[in-house]
Amino acid sequence: MAKLTVDQLELSGRRVFLRVDFNVPIHGGRVTDDTRITAALPTVQHCLKAGASLVVASHLGRPKGKPDRTYSLEPVAERLGQILGQPVPLAPDCVGPEVQQQVTALQPGQILMLENLRFHAEEEANDDGFGQELASLANVYVNDAFAAAHRAHASIEAITRHLRPAAAGLLMARELTALERILGDPERPVWAILGGAKVSDKLALVENLLGRVDGLLIGGGMAFTFLASLGHGIGRSLVETDRIDMARAVLDRARSRGIPARLPVDVVVATSVDDQSGLRTVAVREIPADRMGLDIGPATVAQFRAALSGAKTVVWNGPMGVFEKEPFAAGTLGVAKAVGECPGFSVVGGGDTIAAIHQAGVTSQIGYISTAGGAFLEFLEGRELPGVTALNDA
């Protein structure tokens, strides 16, 4: 997995094509959360200080393969310029004679942002010709968009057939190092915490982790399919009936390998997410037929905390309940604090999970917070990521 990184390159006088993930929320023509922009800053600043000129490329939203002003990167270029304290002009497109002219005019230390890559259907089609056009804009390729590394798109995969060297940016390198620390030779014991709504989204992940972890904690909506597989009545809780046999097989496999797979022992129930009448905490054996489980209870949080207290490595993806609703947030926040208190190295990924870490005030206590969602999960599933495979080995 050791890949060539941008800090190993001689960049003075070179023109760098930097693929970033600046797919950020925009409202009223302004960036409302610049986390992904600031995450890529170390790579941007490294290239500029090393004397390179920089061509920055990203996608934004889903414009369906044609220009749409709603998805213009103009607010992003403006925000990046504010942070850097230097102009970041936006090209009118990402390919074509006018863009080529702007790129050729760049001086060392200058930066140009290309317009949304997804204004061309060829980007998501991983079109080789489009990749070659993008490659013609620079003589070095750097990918700092780990969050998009699971997608075989032209600016991620096809471009590298025509532009070498292809190196990892500093953010990409940090992501790979942190995740390798879990999957490579982790310090043991290793515990994984999995939540979220659906078992089907996580089955491949559970399968891969069973051969790598020493313990598994399962919460969120997905826990009810596992509980149903053990014969528990789960009331009106979320369940994937077509996955019950698979869930039971996973638990059997964990048991045969001597891996503890902990499920909730109590849950917070209510009539529905929006109708909180009858809100209370019950043991999993006592879920009323007319109620649904919407969070793990305090006894479960205590058991999960006890399990994590001796962990040397922890990976967490997915909330423990309907975290965005305050009455059902305590379980996720409790687990966030337990992960923060854990003395071992922790890696956290996924939007809701990261939000919980911030809300619980334990951000500084987490070993690594991944910027990626889908790529984070696919890497942990053991799948090959096109955006990583395409890079030069170190």
Nearest to 316 by CA among 283, 276, 357, 281: 357
Crossing angle (nearest 10°) for helices 170-183 and 35-49: 120
Backbone angles phi, psi at 183, to 5 degrees: -90, -20
**In 3D, which of 130, 121, 176 has the Cα closest to residue 157?**
130
Helix/strand/coil for 31: strand
* Known active-site residue 198: yes
Q: Computed from CA positions of residues 197, 203, 205, 206, in that sequence, does the dihedral angle turn out positive or negative?
A: positive
**CA trace torsion 2, 370, 210, 249 (10° rounding):** -140
Q: Say what the alpha-carbon torsion angle 287, 289, 291, 297 is, to the nearest 10 degrees.
A: 10
Marked catalytic residue, from 3, 15, 19, 36 = 36
Cis peptide before 108 (omega within 30 of 0): no
> Exposed/middle/buried for 304, CB within 10 Å: 0-12, 13-18, 19+?
buried
d(Cα 169, Cα 174) in Å, to the nearest integer?
9
Are the C-beta atoms of residues 24 and 78 closer than 8 Å to each other? no
State yes or no: is 321 an active-site residue.
no
The rounded distance, in Å, linking the Cα atoms of 60 and 51 is 28
35, 363 contact by CB (below 8 A): no
The torsion of the CA quartet 155, 91, 100, 109, rounded to 10 degrees, works out to -90
Active-site option among 373, 374, 382, 383: 374
Q: Tokens representing 371?
A: 């910027």
Token pair listed for 220: 């969120």
Active site residue 36: yes
Structure tokens at 343: 């003395």
Residue in 28, 231, 258, 351 annotated catalytic: 351
- Specify the DSSP class assigned to residue 169: -
Q: Which tokens is 192 given?
A: 């994984």
Does 351 participate in catalysis according to the annotation? yes
Among residues 63, 122, 108, 69, which one has the least CA distance to residue 92?
Answer: 69
Distance set, CA 243 to CA 68, 202, 239, 385 (Å): 40, 11, 8, 26
Active site residues: 36, 198, 351, 374
